[in-house]
Amino acid sequence: MSPDTQTTSTGLELVVDIGPVAHGGHCVARHEGRVVFVRHGIPGERVRIRLTDAEEKAKFWRGDVVEVLDASPDRVPHFWRTADSASSWAHGRPPVGGAELGHVSLQRQRSLKSEVLAEQLRRLAAVELSPEVEAVGEAKAGPMEGAGVKDDGGTGLGWRTRASFGVTGSGRLGMHAHRSDQVIPIQEMPLAIDEINALRLWDVDLQGIERVEVAAPANGSRPLVLLAPAPGTRAKRLNSILSQLPADVSVASYDPLKNETLQLRGRTWVQESAAGHDYRVTGAGFWQIHRDAPDTLVSAVTEFLHDGGFLEPGAAVADLYAGAGLFTAPLADAVGETGSVLSVEGAPGTSRDARKNLHGAPQVEIVQGKVERVLRQRPRLFDALVLDPPRAGAGKAVVGQLIASNPRAIAYVSCDPSSFARDIGYFQQGGWQLSGLRAFDLYPHTHHLETVALLTPRG
């Protein structure tokens, strides 16, 4: 066994030099020619790692940093002990997921995310760009101070308005370790806004519950707690949990397999606000989780389209994968009653939300169904399309349909640089070009980022 290799009570450990950052929240290292994907390191560091996935015949291994031997100048103390790798493994357990870049300065985090985006664009779309990943929240708080905008003080904390939790076998609130079914109990969630932490769900006996989802709108309206009961959990147990929660919080039970929500107290939805509009969002429905994300993304999309002359009164536009109508409402404002907006969403509950949210806009048509089916069955000419697909992206077939609909421009919103870059490649193969790109750090201390792109026909 190499002197840089040792076996401990928690598994096999290696000493490696950390190489470049890669998509997915890890960096690349090598051990005796084998690739090792390492989390909780920084490029250029020399570290000791614990292997978390190391089958002998596997093409690559995975590992977590347990000791830093030669630290990067960009390394900072982790803000959350339960998510700190070295501290967690010193106590014999893995760190919780969801804060895998908490050991890196915010400036370097954004630089690393920019590198990942640039590498994905280069590899999957043959595009040479290194876009800046823009800070959100603290960058705007100064000039808007006193206007109801909260500043995180440049810490990157307190931004999550939605959070998902597991429950331990003893009924305590927890979070999963990365790529694991193990639920680790927690006593705080530093990335969440104060309204979520104020619920103190870690003090509640959650026996009989498998999962907990919380939505606390940034506008201060009534939070919602969704409880996913384990099979066989009785109403008496749910009522006991209900009695432990603050009286001004809505509570519902949720069956993720049936996508059914049952009211226990208050509402089964929350009221969100963005771009001068209020939105009803069903508890299990999608909404951007960063408190400043909705306004940030609406501004980026509408600026791209308006400045290009694609979003004017009387224009025909479509909002695809529209959710509850975050983009639909401001698009309807821009085109006016002489224009038209087709809003397409696949999830029935979320589409019903959009219908309620846009009932006062006669220029909006709400259609529930798959984007590819709606585009095929309702062919029409558009000035612009807004595309905000799930993490998997649009895919080759949908991109082909979008191109075939012959719009003048497409604004593409994405939360995954890999599927985004792949789709940009498809657009380029179809004769389109990337005419504008912005990237936003809507998920500080994680590897995730959001992009907004403007695509136009080449020539």
Judge residue 366's burial from the number of C-beta atoms within 10 Å of its C-beta, 0-12 exposed, 13-18 middle, 19 or more buried.
Answer: buried
Among residues 292, 348, 301, the alpha carbon closest in space to that of 323 is found at: 348
Q: How many whole angstroms separate alpha carbon 423 and alpha carbon 246?
A: 45
Among residues 14, 19, 12, the alpha carbon closest in space to that of 41 is found at: 19
Among residues 457, 455, 321, 454, the alpha carbon closest in space to that of 393 is found at: 321
For the chain, the residue count is: 459
- Residue 199 and residue 152 in contact, taking contact as beta carbons nearer than 8 Å: no
A 10 A CB-CB count for 230 gives 12
> Which amino acid, 241?
I
Provide the 3-class DSSP secondary structure of residue 153: coil
The residues, any chain, with a CB within 8 Å of residue 258's CB and separated by 6 or more, are none
The b/e string for 96-119 (b: 16+ C-beta within 10 A; e otherwise) is bbbbbbbbbbbebbbbbbbbbbbb
Give the strand order in the sheet containing 183-185.
183-185, 173-176, 162-167, 209-215, 224-229, 250-255, 260-265
Tell me how far the alpha carbon of residue 311 is from its chain's centroid: 27
- Is 27 noted as a catalytic residue in this protein? no
> Which amino acid, 215?
A
**Any idea which residue has 């909780």 for tokens?**
40
**Any idea which residue has 């690393």 for tokens?**
112
From the list 415, 437, 449, 455, the catalytic residue is: 415
- Residue 88 dihedral angles phi and psi, to the nearest 5°: -65, -50
Active-site residue list? 415
